[in-house]
Amino acid sequence: MDTHSELREFLMTRRARLTPEQAGLPLFGGRRRVDGLRREEVALIAGISVEYYVRLERGNAAGVSDAVLDGISRALQLDDAEHAHLLDLVRASTATVGAGRRRPAKAGQVSASVQQMIDAMKDVAVLVQNGRGDVITANPLGRALYSVLYDQPANPNFGRFVFLDPRSHDFYLDWDDAAAQTVALLRSEAGRAPNDRSLSNLVGELSTRSDVFRTLWAAHNVREHRTGTKRLHHPDVGDLTLSYEGLQITSAPGLLMLPYSAPPGTDSHEKLQLLATLNAPTHSTQQPSAP
């Protein structure tokens, strides 16, 4: 990915979404020729020269300090995920060739102890994924909850499921939100790992095959996997409302553990337990025949 273009377009889209009123600037008369803030207005709020900001927005981040980036983040009212993404883009655009490349996490990289812990979480559906949205592993209830995801011919991937599998529209009760989140997470990963060929191939595939993905990708929105709620429709147990927490696995950098649960006594908790029962392994009581 062209990191200079990524930096330029990210700053331009953040600037275009802010009005002078939102930035606390007086609105003078006359027609404005640009949507959102002008470059000189961003520079004024950030406390830097116009020339300095223009150079940065053109993708030239050489020598930019953290203090300047903090000022620009405040001027553009970036949230934590956007600020981190800006730092990643600047770091990538100023890195020397071959430097700063993060090796992407590979399938099966969780340790045996982590897998044992995940499998022991009987009442919680657990998935482990990397930044590209590939499902690395899951416990039995996690595989049962996302059974439609595991029907993909290739390795399970959230991006391919959301944008290329028609069943995702029935599975996600809030499909538009799920689509926007998926793209925003991929955007964040692209900033952290701009040299990840597998990620670039995935983005190219989804951009070619999905108009919705292509439109959302051009918005340059980013987010981090922290905590939230998913509303799902499972083909076996019906509608569920589940909360999740994104937990970094310290022994496997780049992998995220996502436990899905519901409060005891709720309809979703009962359905989750029913799903666990329906997918519990069966043990035969028949004795082996004598030789």
pLDDT in tens, 247-279: 999 888 889 999 999 999 999 999 999 999 998
Torsion over CA: 213, 219, 224, 226 (sign): negative
User: Would you state the structure tokens that stand for residue 249, as one six-digit string?
Assistant: 């696995």
Q: What pLDDT digit, counting tens, does each position of 168-187 carry?
A: 999 999 999 999 999 999 99
- Going from the C-alpha of 101 to that of each of 71, 152, 189, 235, the distances in angstroms are 27, 30, 12, 41
pLDDT above 50: residue 97: no
Q: Which of these, 32, 37, 31, 33, lies nearest to 11 by C-alpha position?
A: 37
Give residue 283's pLDDT.
Answer: 47
Q: Does position 105 have pLDDT exceeding 50, yes or no?
A: no
Q: Output the pTM of the full model.
A: 0.87
- pLDDT at position 161, please? 97
Phi, psi of 106 (to 5 degrees): -105, 160
List C-alpha distances in Å: 228 to 62, 181, 245, 264: 37, 11, 7, 18
* Residue 100 confidence class, pLDDT cut points 50, 70, 90: very low
β partners of residue 248? 256
Mean pLDDT of 2-17: 94
Residue 166 has pLDDT above 60, yes or no: yes
Partnered with residue 125 across adjacent β-strands are 260
Measured CA to CA, the distance from residue 261 to residue 125 in angstroms comes to 7
How would you classify the pairing of strands 135-138 and 247-248? unpaired
**Residue 279, pLDDT score:** 86
**Residue 180: per-residue pLDDT:** 97
pLDDT of residue 221: 97
- Banded pLDDT at 142 (limits 50, 70, 90): very high
Query: What is d(CA 187, CA 153) in angstroms, rounded to the nearest whole number?
Result: 25
Domains with residue ranges and CATH for the chain: 3-94 (1.10.260.40), 112-278 (3.30.450.180)
Are 254 and 134 a contacting pair, CB within 8 Å?
no
pLDDT at 154: 73
* Assigned token pair, 110: 């969780």
Q: To the nearest whole number, what is the mean pLDDT of the chain?
A: 89
